[in-house]
Structure 1
Amino acid sequence: MGRAISNLSGSSPSNNNLCSTLLMEQEGNSIIEGTVDHRGQPAQRSSSGGWRSACFIIGVEMTERFAYYGISLNLITYLTGHLGQSTAAAAVNVNVLAGTATLLPLLGAFVADSFLGRFRTIIAASVIYVLGLGLLTLSAVLNSVDGSDCKNTKTLKPCSPPWYLVLLFFCSLYLIAVGVGGHKPCVQAFGADQFDPQDPKENKAKSSFFNWWYFGLSVGALTTLIVSVYIQDNLSWSLGFGIPCCAMIVSLLVFLLGSRTYRYTIRKNDKNPFTRIFRVVGRAIKRNWQNTTPAVEFANEEHGSMSFQNSKQFKFLDKALLRPDGSMEDQNDCSIRDVEETRALLRLAPIWVTGLAYAVVFAQTSTFFTKQGATMERTFVSGLQIPAASLQSFIGVAIILFVPLYDRIFVPISRSVTGKHSGITILQRIGAGMVLSILSMVTAALVEKKRLGTAEKYGLVDQPNVTLPISVWWLIPQYVLCGLADVLAIVGLQEFFYDEVPEELRSLGMAFYHSLIGVGSFLSSFLVSVINKATAGGGRESWFANNLNRAHLDYFYWFLAGLSAVGFSAYLHFANKHIHNRKYKVDVL
């Protein structure tokens, strides 16, 4: 059965074997509390969820990432070429799009957790996604038919297409971002929901799921780098955008094919979870403003008792449980559970903020790394040149090679030492990824210094269109370090935010991760804009000059390395003080 599911999900042969092996690890036929199957009956362990469902969802992610990266990884080339934008302007547009696509999951999570549920939100978002990709393909077709791919006779730069085509192009991009906003926070959370955290074996499998999820994501990204980017650079942008559109249609079909195997979570509380959170915050602010007596007891005959290891954190929230006269609030109106869920969300803020420096580094691989590679010798074999955007495939290769080693070798060995089901703690994993991201920026700065030295040595500083006699293989270390950092930090952040939020807000948990990456992209755009203006005065060339031989990307990389080091120091401080969200239990007296 595992083989059939894998084939339906469109997975590769290696992924088929993986899913079949993981599926055989499941045993038992117990009822999973709080979930139902596709018929609305209590979900049974033997016939729903687990790896049988996760394989479908990993297949969905694989094809969706093929679609998304098929347009985003090479977008800077299209913007500076067919749309005639400057390098700095194109980098800002790429980062703003990435930021928007990773902030909109906050809205998608709100819709899913409050109204539609994850399953229906994924379907609706996928339809919007396909529509956006279709319109993007149409804009590329019209652009080529319009004949706007020309050269300005004075500046020798590409002409800008008519305004209506530019408008259609950017509207399509942001429609895609809306689709991503509904798709991303729900699919991964829905996949993790297929594992029962109360069962030791499935809880261990859930941690492994996050690793293989990122493995599937990287396979999709790597495949589109090989296929879509080559087609865009050598054949047609229309076809290069059309193939990702078809991939997204396949993603939707794969998701629907697995609907009979999924476990669907039942909401335990009829009240909207966001309403409960906002009510707690509002009441706490109001009661603290009124200076209501601070004495709050979590134990009484009417409301039960609860024991927490974190009672001293965010004590101001406790006043949400009190009426103005100091008596306990009606638990149906504002309960202890509501306060503790709000407290759990607030505890995530320090980790989120200190992760922003990593997110800024994460944004560089699809912008300036690509522009660096475009100036270097990229001939692989006689007559075959590697597209600059395809250099990002080294990140995917590093991830694909490292994930199995981490999941199947490192985790079991470290588990035998630490006794933890994930080997090392999630926060330790994130910190290790941050260290590697700092090393990637240091490496990038050193390589860029060498590239600039090569341009000066051969008198090519003022010939930006001439390929420099330095191999593109010099960029591999920084790409590989970024890939290894992603396996540790990105996957760690995903699992951290999923585990630490209340059960009914797990889409929001994944949205927190995506918003972290999104704000990092916006910060990167902001830094590029500010530094571009600050360094371009007095007749000097900007750090991001269109002629990269006169730019100073090395200075920018050193700046990011220092910023990341500061962020990592702050992260260590807050990670050591972080109190995990242990599932609480209410005992009615």
Structure 2
Amino acid sequence: MAADDIYTNDGTVDIHKKPAIKKKTGNWRACKFILGTECCERLAYYGMSTNLVNYLQDQLNQGNVTASNNVTNWSGTCYITPLIGAFLADAFMGRYWTIAVFSSIYVLGMTLFTLSASVSGLKPECDSKGSCHATSGQVAVCFLALYMIALGTGGIKPCVSSFGADQFDETDETEKKKKSSFFNWFYFSVNVGSLVASSVLVWIQMNVGWGWGLGIPAVSMAIAVAFFFAGSHLYRLQRPGGSPLTRIAQVLVASVRKSHIQIPDDKTLLYEITDKESNIEGSRKLEHTEMLKCLDKAAVQTESDYVKDDVNPWRLCTVTQVEELKGVIRLLPVWATGIIFSTVYGQMSTMFVLQGNTLDQHIGPNFKIPSASLSLFDTLSVLFWAPVYGSYIIPLARKYTGHEQGFTQLQRMGIGLVISIIAMLVAGILEVARLDYVRKNNLYDHETISMSIFWQVPQYFLVGCAEVFTFIGQIEFFYDQAPDAMRSLCSALSLTTNAAGSYLSTLLVTIVAKVTTRHGKLGWIPENLNRGHLDYFFWLLTILSLINFLVYLWIARWYKYKKAVVDP
């Protein structure tokens, strides 16, 4: 039997750093551990983040704007720290060890957060009326725990999906086809964890107590870590390829140094090593492309590029190294259009929850559903649409588009953007109806009104549908279009749209609060939403989403997919 039939051809190794054997490692046998890990980790994350705005209001006595901004700032940090984890994974540690180290920090953060909500002295004191007052030290411990969790997510978010995709050999056509379905199942497992979190855990937090409600997510995170290590002997590991930021800097420096040099018409004269594999660890060679020709100057050979027959990497770079940088730059416009979508998505844990707090939460005479639990309809939507997309939508679309996957990745993301616009319209219409009910019945000073909270279900369901198209398409797009040795970094880049979206939400809320409260006015988002205009805020997001979609259409038409590698 040939060696190619025994070992993987994509350069992966096993946990012992030996070439990965096809029949003993990777594939779905390894992915079940990765999917189980992600399910437990997402249960932990959403178990404490879904209802965080209510925790900050109830336990730390923060107002609507302050609590909302603290949640979006923290959420944004959770999606910025992946840049740290991705850099370490691609440059030095590899995805396996990055997940292992950062998940330990994650568990410590979850444990401290649980203690801050349950241990006397660390948790805020509450009076007989239920009003809580936290000391500055208690607030500090709470936010220390939250930002430890944010750091812990930085090593998991950018690596887990890429690590799962690494279990399928791209050079094997059979395994390559399975990889696309992995991303659907990956997002499916994310939402199984989210479903339990937004239903069971939120109810426990609001009816049993925050100690139990946060302790269970902490235990779930510990189980996630144990589950991850249990599959170690089955994993395929991509070797770290060295600092991607250094390689990017080398291309930029070399191209600037040679800014006066003419690029040859014959592109085969550009520098590339003669070996079958690239000189970048874990990366295959890339074909030359015509975009950003100024960067090609970094690969033009001159006599001064060599020192004693050795190449000076700050003066001469390979075509593959240049194409790596081009590939990252090519992703940036698509990345930017994901920011507004992430802002819309972030409303589920802030403005949707605050809107739900004003509605009737009763199911029957004795049971109340917490407003944060309505996010379970977002989760149910994802769990419904993910398999429907794979089983029905793709075959139907394939008949009309001729594309193997039904839609291209960019088309898939664009459909999600359209659905998110509709979701904001629906949320705005509900708020108009709610305020009209308040006005007609003079309920301005009532904490809740008799309109059922289940009128919010359509907006949650639509956001979930949009996720299946945009977020899953985005995960697959950034993995597929990323250079081999930069996949963690590019996965982290895709996640930073969530960070930017969260920070944009904070900025919008802050600006809206300041502008609309001038001259003594209550503003759009006062403490008493019955006297505000939350609907105007939803209309603002609708308009921004529409403009964003039009820009996206122009970018998608301009974008050219990554060319096939040579010498695989």
TM-score by length of 2: 0.92
Please name the residue that 1:366 is paired with: 349
Q: Give the 3 Å change call, closer, same or farther, for CA 339–296 of structure 1 in structure 2.
A: farther
**Kept after mapping to 2: 8 A contact 1:143/1:161:** no
Give 1:309 shift: 6.9
1:108 equivalent to 2:85? Answer yes
Q: What secondary structure is seen at the aligned counterpart in 1 of 2:395?
A: helix
Q: Shift of residue 346 of structure 1?
A: 0.5
Q: Describe how 1:96-175 pairs up with structure 2 within 5 A.
A: 96-142=73-119, 148-150=125-127, 158-175=131-148
Give the structure 1 partner of residue 325 of structure 2. 342
2:297 pairs with 319, 323, 331, which one? 319
1:325-355 CA distances to partner (integer Å, 9 max, x unpaired)? Answer: 8989976722111101111110001101122
Contact 1:296 1:319 survives alignment (8 Å): no
Aligned equivalents of 1:325, 1:32: Cα separation in 2: 39
Listed one character per residue, the Cα deviations across residues 182-230 of structure 1 (whole Å, up to 9, x for unaligned) are 1110111100111122222222211111111111100100101122111
**How far off is 1:303 after superposition?**
4.2
* 1:248 matched residue in structure 2: 221
Corresponding residue to 1:556 among 531, 537, 545: 537
Q: What is the deviation of 1:277?
A: 1.4
The answer to whether structure 1 residue 507 and structure 2 residue 476 are counterparts is no
Compared with structure 1, are the counterparts of its residues 362 and 343 closer, same or farther at alpha carbon in structure 2 (3 Å cutoff)?
Answer: same
2:267 is aligned, of 298, 313, 326, to: 298
User: How many Å apart are 1:91 and its aligned residue?
Assistant: 0.5
Deviations 1:289-330 (A, max 9, x none): xx333447431397479995731x111211222478898997
Listed as ranges, the gaps of 5+ residues in structure 2 are: 275-284
- Give the aligned partner of residue 257 of structure 1: 230
Question: 2 CA distance for matches of 1:468 and 1:376?
Answer: 5
CA contact (8 A) 1:322 1:328 kept: no
CA distance in 2, matches of 1:167, 1:325: 59
Q: State the SS of the aligned residue for 2:20.
A: strand
Shift of 1:30: 4.0
The CA distance in 1 between the partners of 2:386 and 2:72, in whole Å, is 27
Identify the residue that residue 505 of structure 2 maps to in structure 1: 524
Relative distance call for 1:72 and 1:143 in structure 2 (3 A) is farther
Q: 1:189 to 1:459 in 2, by over 3 A?
A: same
Give the structure 2 partner of residue 24 of structure 1.
Answer: none
Contact 2:270 / 2:319 at 8 angstroms: preserved in 1?
no
> 1: CA distance between counterparts of 2:65 and 2:123?
26
Query: In structure 2, what is the Cα distance between the partners aligned to 1:302 and 1:88?
Result: 56
- 2:289 matches 1:310: yes
> Does residue 364 of structure 2 align to residue 387 of structure 1?
no
Native 8 Å contact 1:296 1:322 kept in 2: no
The answer for the alignment partner of 1:47 in structure 2 is 24
Cα gap change, 1:144/1:475 in structure 2, threshold over 3 Å: closer, same or farther?
farther
Provide closer, same or farther for how the CA distance between residues 564 and 202 of structure 1 changes in structure 2, counting only shifts above 3 A. Answer: same
**Greater mean alpha carbon deviation, residues 443-452 or residues 272-281:** 272-281
Question: Structure 1: which amino acid aligns with 2:435?
Answer: L
Q: 1:183 maps to what in 2?
A: 156
- The equivalent residue for 2:458 is 477
Is the 1:378–1:471 Cα contact (8 Å) retained in structure 2? Answer: yes
Deviations 1:542-578 (A, max 9, x none): 1110101012110011110110111111111011110
Distance 1:471 1:138 in 2: 35
3-state secondary structure, aligned to 2:163: helix
TM score, norm. by length of structure 1: 0.89
Give the corresponding residue for 1:22: none
Give secondary structure in 2 for the equivalent of 1:117: helix
2:278 paired residue number: none
SS state at 2:12 partner: strand
Structure 2 vs 1, CA of residues 128 and 307 (structure 1 numbering), >3 Å: closer, same or farther?
Answer: closer
1:543 aligns to 2:524 (yes or no): yes
Cα distance in 2 for partners of 1:121, 1:379 equals 45
SS state at 2:8 partner: strand
Identity %: 39
Question: 3-state SS of the aligned residue for 1:403?
Answer: helix
Matched to 2:100, the amino acid is I
Match in the other structure for 1:11: none
In terms of mean alpha carbon deviation, does 227-236 or 438-447 score higher? 227-236
Match of 1:223 among 170, 186, 196: 196
Bigger shift: 45-54 or 185-194? 45-54
Determine if contact 2:169/2:175 at 8 Å carries over to the other structure. yes
Given that residues 296 and 321 in structure 1 are in contact (C-alpha distance below 8 angstroms), is that contact kept between their aligned partners in structure 2?
no
Matches within 5 A, 1:442-481: 442-463=425-446, 465=447, 467-481=448-462
State the aligned residue count.
549
- CA deviations 1:525-547 (Å, max 9, x no partner) are 01100111000011211111010
Q: Which of the residues 487, 492, 495 maps onto 2:468?
A: 487
2: CA distance between counterparts of 1:143 and 1:552? 40
Q: List gaps (5 residues or longer) in structure 1.
A: 1-27
| Structure 2 SS opposite 1:461 | coil
Determine if the alignment matches structure 1 residue 86 to structure 2 residue 59: no
- Structure 1 residues 146 and 322: alpha-carbon distance in aligned structure 2, compared to 1, 3 A threshold: closer
The AA in structure 2 aligned to 1:317 is: L
- CA RMSD, Structure 1 to Structure 2 (Å): 2.3
* Contact residue 104 and residue 152 of structure 2 kept, 8 A: yes
Report if the CA contact (8 A) 1:287-1:324 is conserved.
Answer: no
Q: What is the CA-CA distance between 1:437 and the residue it aligns to?
A: 0.3
Q: 1:272 corresponds to which residue? A: 243
Q: Cα 1:120–1:534, aligned 2, differ >3 Å: closer, same or farther? A: same
Output the CA distance in 1 between the equivalents of 2:377 and 2:364: 18
Q: Which of 557, 562, 565 is residue 581 of structure 1 equivalent to?
A: 562
Partner of 2:282: none
Whichever residue aligns with residue 326 of structure 2, its letter is: R
Moved more, 409-418 or 429-438: 409-418
Q: Distance in 1 between matches of 2:395 and 2:166?
A: 23
Q: Does 1:436 align with 2:414?
A: no
